[in-house]
Structure 1
Amino acid sequence: DSTVAIVSAIGSREKGPYSGSVYIYRYNGSQWIEEAKLTASDGKPGDFFGQSVAVKRNLVIIGAYQAEGNTGKTGAAYLFRFKGNKWIEEAKIYSNDGTPNSYFGFSVALGKDGTAIVGAYGADGKSSKSGAAYTFELIGGEWKQTGKLISPDGETGDKYGYSVAIHKDLAIVGAYHKKVSSNNFGAAYIYKRRGETWKEEVRLTQSAGSKHDYFGISVDIRDAAALIGSSRFDKETLKEVGAVYVFLKSPDGWYESKRIQPHDGNSYDNFGLSVSLDRGKALVGSRLNDSQAEDAGAAYLYDIYEGTADEIEETIPKEFAISQNYPNPYNPATMIR
């Protein structure tokens, strides 16, 4: 729903330091109006409610990666639904096999059919703490875990589940610290749902990279196209400008179509730290871009099907400040759908 926007404030002290809160805004045709402020019904200090957010129509999912789960601070996610004229907390979900510091809820996404996917990059997968992603569906009026995705080559510290996205019967999970070779780190895994089971379709890696590019730090997917952020990729002599890779699917499988970097990128811009894909347009966040002020940030819009992924527009905040996210600097999330 393009009339609803979510803005998180994980540093909110509503229920104690870093308990977190989320603001819902609705567009009335001329301006954005605050509609609600959401907090977890059982929120506690240090939950980091709002670490990740996603919205589809009248449903919102909010990650709280240090909240109480099945045992200790495994992490949780909360689902809110718009009913009548207000947002109502519908469920709190967590993994059925969580362990402390699984970081369940660090990333979240919603499919058009209401399927939720939640990343837990500290969960046990193929190896201890290699990471996992979990799927949930509303069945018989209750939210139930329907799947656990892990990388078949998972190793401790891969950070698998740091980023997730879902579209129809496709899901993608990023593992930005996966060791691909001695000098190439980062991978993303695409899964296809067949019946009630998710099967790995492909593991994607970058064609050229280095140990600390963070390929897989962000992901998104739509039908036969996927975006993967590599926020510390160098640009010639400039360090850690960042990049985004476009992968497309042909009858022969997925292939790397192009690598996108900003025309005005500078060192440590973090271009690609966040990505979003819709109708062939890629929106890329550059959190520490200095176009208007130090670390003010910017967003770039591209057409991924143009031969060179031509930049359509650079968006910078009309109001900005140094250390833009103060006083909540810990990777806050914003989403418009």
Structure 2
Amino acid sequence: MKKSLLCFITALFISASLFADWDIGELLLAFDGAEHDEFGKSVSISGNYAVIGALCNDENGSNSGSAYIFYYDGTNWYQQAKLIASDGADLDIFGKSVSISGDYVVIGATGNDDNGSCSGSAYIFSRSDTLWTEQAKLTASDAATENNFGYSVSISGDYAVIGAIGNDENGTHAGAAYIFHRSGTIWSQQAKLLASDGIAHDIFGKSVAIFGDYAIIGAGSVDDNGFCYIFKRSGTSWYQQAKLVASDGASHDLFGYSVSIFDDYAVIGACGDDDNGSCSGSAYIFSKSDTIWTEQAKLTASDGTADNYFGYSVSIFDDYAAIGAYSDDDNGISSGSAYIFNRSDTTWYQQTKLLASDGAAFDKFGRSVSISGNVVIIGADGNSDNGISSGSAYVFQNDDLPSVIADFEANPLETKLIGNFPNPFNTTTTISFYLTAEDAEIVIYNIKGQKVKVLDCPDYIGNNEQAAESLSQYSVVWDGTDENYQPVSSGVYFYRLKVGNNLSGTKKMLLLK
């Protein structure tokens, strides 16, 4: 029995070491959210800024659409602006797709009718201080009815790529993508991208992403396995460098339904893959060496089941990939989830599974995902906090990773988290730490990164003036209950010392009952 218990404890701690501390930061809602806005259908994050699409918002008419800018001030995320098209109209669905890079945002409006019904358009907004202003409206040079230009968008630096799944140059709905370049305040079409072997109904442009001199375009055709194409820029020209296919691709896998690219890595969603049941879904990592792109890994959810649609949304940044599975049922039917994968050398492993803290049936959490530095934002367009399908988004932050936002680590000379004893424990454990005289809290999380309880630290017993000048030891007891004083289940938990807005250290503990 002792041997079995030791093996169980060891296995839990090994498992826990794979889970970084992705903390739920904030639930984001539109200040004027309403029924069926579908806020969160599209999301994108860059540094301290995030943009969230609400394609069915009615600001400029029924389903004209809008998008919202949120800003992180080091403590909280708050809504900075609501973006609408200057010429928005009914059924434009502005916000179908969004992307942000630095001070620029691009927003797709596939229902725009400038060049015929659903010819589509995209809008560029730029930031000056706290003001966001429409800088340009983009349309295809050969725009036509039902092209759906703006179905997908991505921006990186001075370049933007726009997908047009209905373009007919290679056959009916074969699809195309367009590259736009900024010079000063002027955006001009630089290239039209087509698949070298494109045919009717490929829907090339279903997904697009751009990073530096590389663009990736997905052709997630329902009738075929699906394909992706890598294009590279040379001067003002773009040429196809590679065609990517899944090594085990099969009909209806929808490989290419979602794409993301960062540096020498690309992640491609195949939400129709059947490895764990019909439409359980998967995603593939490709890596580049010189001019060759090679499949490096196939990602699936550790708990994947039929109709989860894992891979419906994907995003990659540095050594981390976020994958959405909007139809996962952990919090109810189609409540949704997302997964974080981490790369170690050439191996990718599942680091954690993310769920909405208030998840409910049909929220569709994971419909959209975007990761930047140590922050990931996840859209839940079915959330009903502001009415049925009004939508929401959630921000998770991993304080164990280098931040592109800010460094909020507490001064090590002023705080030190010691640990807890006993560990493992049954019922109660004592958490100890050093601190100068100052208000502090111990924040406890479960293995999913969800906050379980906040423990207020006791006042220092003794001379506070002396305590303020040197580190003094404190301790606080956790009795294994949550904020509602309900017992929590056995398992691994994490805790952090919070002093003001600063966080110091992360420790793990094991509760056994």
TM, length-normalised to structure 1: 0.92
Does residue 1:189 correspond to 2:229, yes or no? yes
Q: Which residue of 1 aligns with 2:173?
A: 129
- One-letter amino acid of the structure 2 residue matched with residue 209 of structure 1: G
Q: Which residue of 1 aligns with 2:252?
A: 212
Residue of 276, 288, 302 corresponding to 1:263: 302
Residue of 317, 322, 334 corresponding to 1:278: 317
In structure 2, distance between residues paired with 1:333 and 1:215: 25
> CA shift at 1:239, angstroms?
1.4
Contact 2:266/2:285, CA 8 A, preserved across alignment:
yes
In structure 2, distance between residues paired with 1:146 and 1:335: 35
Residue 103 to residue 265, structure 1, CA distance change in 2 (3 Å): same
* Larger Rg over CA atoms: 2
Residue 287 to residue 330, structure 1, CA distance change in 2 (3 Å): farther
Which residues in structure 2 correspond to 1:159-178 (within 5 Å)? 159-177=203-221
Contact 1:220/1:228, CA 8 A, preserved across alignment:
yes
Does residue 1:141 correspond to 2:179, yes or no? no
Most deviating of 299-308 and 81-90: 299-308
- One-letter amino acid of the structure 1 residue matched with residue 309 of structure 2: N
Contact 1:126/1:152, CA 8 A, preserved across alignment:
no
Residue 334 to residue 146, structure 1, CA distance change in 2 (3 Å): farther
CA-based RMSD: 2.2
Q: Which residue of 2 aligns with 1:226?
A: 266
- One-letter amino acid of the structure 1 residue matched with residue 199 of structure 2: E
Contact 1:248/1:257, CA 8 A, preserved across alignment:
yes
Residue 54 to residue 88, structure 1, CA distance change in 2 (3 Å): same
Contact 2:116/2:146, CA 8 A, preserved across alignment:
no
Q: Secondary structure at the match of 1:304?
A: strand
- One-letter amino acid of the structure 1 residue matched with residue 153 of structure 2: V
Contact 2:172/2:200, CA 8 A, preserved across alignment:
yes
- One-letter amino acid of the structure 2 residue matched with residue 261 of structure 1: T
Contact 1:276/1:284, CA 8 A, preserved across alignment:
yes
Which residues in structure 2 correspond to 1:62-81 (within 5 Å)? 62-81=107-126
Does residue 1:100 correspond to 2:145, yes or no? yes
Does residue 1:25 correspond to 2:64, yes or no? no
Residue of 303, 307, 310 corresponding to 2:349: 310
> CA shift at 1:68, angstroms?
2.5
In structure 2, distance between residues paired with 1:262 and 1:178: 22
Does residue 1:291 correspond to 2:359, yes or no? no
Percent sequence identity is 35
Q: Which residue of 2 aligns with 1:37?
A: 82
Consecutive unaligned residues of structure 2, counting only runs of 5 or more, are 1-45, 364-380, 397-403, 405-513
TM, length-normalised to structure 2: 0.61
> CA shift at 1:256, angstroms?
1.0
- One-letter amino acid of the structure 1 residue matched with residue 89 of structure 2: K
In structure 2, distance between residues paired with 1:84 and 1:19: 27
> CA shift at 1:127, angstroms?
2.6
Q: Which residue of 1 aligns with 2:412?
A: none
